[in-house]
Structure 1
Amino acid sequence: MRTIPFIMLFLSCSLYAVAQLNIIPKNDGLKEYTVQNAQPYDSLTNVESRSFASLPGQTLYMHGAKNDSRGYYEVFFTGNFLDGEKQPVYQMDGVSVTPAKSVVGKYYEVLKVWTKGTGCCILLREKESGDEIYYNPYRYPLCMTCLGFYEKLKRYIGQAFFSLAKRVETEDGQIITPPEGTEYHCMDIGLKMNSDGAFLIMEGADSVKVEAFPIGDEVYEFVSAKRISLLKEQYGDNFGKQIAFRKVDTGMTKEMVVVAWGEPYRKSEIKKENGTLETWSFSDNRYVELFNGKVLNVRVY
């Protein structure tokens, strides 16, 4: 009989402990960004995964994607499509398609952004009509340009650039490949309807104007005189110039390879008696062999 009070005391303590459990609901991974908690926008990136959390409060212009005559399939909705429920398509024409004329050529204010895993939903307000629509940027990532990004591109105007021997389009629509090292100057910033977005207008000594597209803080088809000078100062005249022109050579360090070509998509290594042999694999069938941290061999197929 003396054990009963002890048992009752144990049970009462257990019930009290259960009552104090802090049950945390499982996070479904949905993150919401508004003007109040948006990350700072540096204007170096357009509408892409690196800038999604920074877009609330920004203004986007819908210049449209290439070949959008059939409209935009499951790109614009009337509700948040990341919340688990199927949402109706905005201004639907046929099956899950928004006509191009309903969205192209308009300005949109970014009200909210939601991210979930690899998905993103952006709530927009069309400035003229006040319509609120939900945009899936992964379907057509190049159909909108952020005005902040466009304005920041003007920093390139007046700068000198040198060709990387890549194909470029001229003012009259011709495709040319300027020889490597040909000097150009940025004259202005342009934006065409139904295009890949904002671009730099470059002019060569022959007065021919061509288009060049920014990637982050660089330009895809050209390298700036500023970048060449900076890399020469950091890595020496020889290696610095090669890195600027996106070339990898024997004797370069791992850091130099990454600056020139970016991070490899695969790495492998073999331990040897006198050191470590690594093989780095890059896109476009490019391979670099490094021995004890320095480039031993470069293979480009």
Structure 2
Amino acid sequence: MKTIPIITFFLCTVMYAHAQLNIVPKNDGLKEYTVTNAHPYDSLTNVEKRSFTSLPGQTLYMHGVKNDRNGYWDAFYTVNFLTGDDRTVYKAVNISTTPSKEVVGKYYEVVKVWTKTDYLSAGCCLLLREKESGDEMYYNPFRYPLSMTCIGYYEKLKRFVGQTFLSLAKAVETEDGQVITPAEGAEYRCVDIGLKMNSDGAFLLMEGADGVRVEAFPIGGDEVYEFVSTARIGQLEKRYGEKYGKLIAFRKVDTGMTREMVIAAWGEPYHKSEVKKEGRTLETLRFSDNRYVELLDGEVQYVRIY
């Protein structure tokens, strides 16, 4: 009989402890951004992963992608597709496709942005309000990443007008649609910017010494895919010396460079490995387009472009 109070006390203690548990709900990885908590917008970036959380309050223009006659598949929805199973497509035909005419050539205000990261995927949803009609839709920016241009980004591109550029010997398109490849180092001047429908969007209009004008596409920051500005060449030469600065500007890698120089020229590698032996470090870096670099104690010893 004397054990009963002890057992009763023990049970009460367990029940009390259970009642005091701090139950934390499972984090579904969903984050919401509005104009009140959006990250500061950097107008050097367009609509891309690194800028998604800064887009609330910005205006986007849908110029569309190439060959979109069949519409946009699973890109525009009537609900937030990150929060449930409902994935009803905006003004759909054939269940999952929004016709091009319903979304292209229009301006949109970014009302909200949601990002979601879990063990299986990373996603983003933009709540857009079409400026003219007031229609709202939920947009997946990963589906057609080059279909929209942020107006703030477009306006910032005007900084390139009047600058001098040198060709990187890449194919470019002229105003009349011809494709040419200017010689490496050929001088051009940026005379205007434009936004082409059903293309990669905003571009720089470059004029060569022969008066021929060609299109070039900015790729973030102060870089242009087909050209390098003389101002950037000067900056890189000041930082890395005349020899290596110019090589980096023309996106070339050579022996004697440091790891920092390689990344400045080619960007981050998609694969890297490191081996230590007898106090020395051999590092290998692999880049897109079959480019391969070996560094010994941080200095490039071998470069191969397949």
Q: Does 1:14 align with 2:19?
A: no
Question: Hey, what does 1:208 align to over in structure 2?
Answer: 212
Q: Does 1:270 align with 2:272?
A: no
Structure 2 unaligned blocks of 5 or more = none
Q: 1:69 and 1:204 mapped to 2: Cα distance?
A: 34
Q: Does 1:291 align with 2:296?
A: yes
Question: Hey, what does 1:173 align to over in structure 2?
Answer: 177
Task: Map 1:39-50; keep pairs closer than 5 Å.
Answer: 39-50=39-50
Question: Hey, what does 1:237 align to over in structure 2?
Answer: 242
Q: 1:268 deviation in Å?
A: 2.5
Q: 1:4 deviation in Å?
A: 4.1
**Cα deviation per residue 1:181-213 (whole Å; 9 max; x = unaligned)?**
111111111001111111111111111111111
Question: Hey, what does 1:247 align to over in structure 2?
Answer: 252
Q: 1:14 deviation in Å?
A: 2.7
Q: 2:289 and 2:87 mapped to 1: Cα distance?
A: 39
Q: 1:9 deviation in Å?
A: 3.4
**Cα deviation per residue 1:74-133 (whole Å; 9 max; x = unaligned)?**
111111111121222111123311111111111111111111122111111111111111
Q: 1:13 deviation in Å?
A: 3.0
Q: 2:10 and 2:220 mapped to 1: Cα distance?
A: 64
**Cα deviation per residue 1:137-186 (whole Å; 9 max; x = unaligned)?**
11111111110110111111111111111111111111111111111111
Question: Hey, what does 2:114 align to over in structure 1?
Answer: 114
Q: 1:6 deviation in Å?
A: 4.1
Q: 1:295 deviation in Å?
A: 0.6
Question: What is the root-mean-square deviation of aligned Cα atoms in Å?
Answer: 1.4
Q: Identity across aligned pairs (percent)?
A: 72
Q: 1:269 and 1:130 mapped to 2: Cα distance?
A: 55
Q: Does 1:98 align with 2:130?
A: no
Distance 1:278 1:71, change over 3 A: same
Structure 1 counterpart of 2:158, from 134, 154, 172: 154
Structure 1 counterpart of 2:266, from 261, 268, 272: 261
**Cα deviation per residue 1:250-271 (whole Å; 9 max; x = unaligned)?**
1111111111111211222333
Structure 1 counterpart of 2:133, from 129, 134, 139: 129
Distance 1:295 1:18, change over 3 A: same
Q: Does 1:140 align with 2:144?
A: yes
Q: Does 1:36 align with 2:40?
A: no
Task: Map 1:64-103; keep pairs closer than 5 Å.
Answer: 64-103=64-103
Q: How many residues align?
A: 301
Q: 2:256 and 2:44 mapped to 1: Cα distance?
A: 33
Letter in 2 for 1:231: L
Letter in 2 for 1:137: P
- When structure 1 is superposed on structure 2, of 281-290 and 86-95 the one drifting more is 86-95
